[in-house]
Amino acid sequence: MPFASVDSPFTLSVVETFMQFMPNCKAPGPDHIHAEMLKPIWSHISSLLACLFTICWQWSYTPSLWRHAQVFSMFKKGDPLDAANYHPISLTSVVSPELHRYSPPLDVAQGGFRPRHGALDQALTAKTS
């Protein structure tokens, strides 16, 4: 496989297994690709996806379409005119979870999107540095 890396977690068998067990009946993300579209052709495209995932993993790059989500407001219950009765649903690409599964963990210095790490913690860290 071109661009194959000894360290890459994206072997052909890993990608084939992922594609065979993608959940059906899920709404597609911004790329409008359903799992049901990929499953019939998994044997033809799994090596291509393994190569793409390996390149993205080696370069620490995520394709721009996989970095975006379509966000919809879903009504929970109660008064439909009250905005508090809605919660957001984010729809992402059906193939991006496989790439993100092997993403490196967040750096210790990164405070965003981490529990118990707020803006004050980052400000104090910056002030003491």
pLDDT digits (tens, 9 = 90+) for 85-129: 999 999 999 888 887 887 766 666 676 667 777 777 777 777 666
Angle between helices 12-20 and 42-59 (to 10 degrees): 120
Residue 129's pLDDT is 62
Answering whether pTM is above 0.75, one says no
Give the whole-angstrom CA distance, residue 41 versus residue 79: 45
Sketch the domain layout of the chain as residue ranges.
Answer: 12-66+95-128
Running DSSP on this structure, what letter comes out for residue 77? S
Q: If you average pLDDT over every residue of the chain, what do you get?
A: 83
Where does the chain show beta strands of DSSP type E? 70-75, 86-91
Residue 121's pLDDT is 76
Give the whole-angstrom CA distance, residue 103 versus residue 82: 38
Residue 14's pLDDT is 85
For residue 7, the one-letter residue type is: D
Please give the share of the chain, as a percent, with pLDDT higher than 90.
24
Mean pLDDT across the stretch 70-78?
Answer: 93
- 3-class SS of residue 74: strand
Mean pLDDT across the stretch 48-70?
Answer: 88
Q: What is the CA radius of gyration of the chain?
A: 19
For residue range 60-73, list pLDDT tens digits in order.
888 888 888 999 99
Mean pLDDT across the stretch 25-54?
Answer: 90
Q: Which tokens sit at 47? A: 């090596």
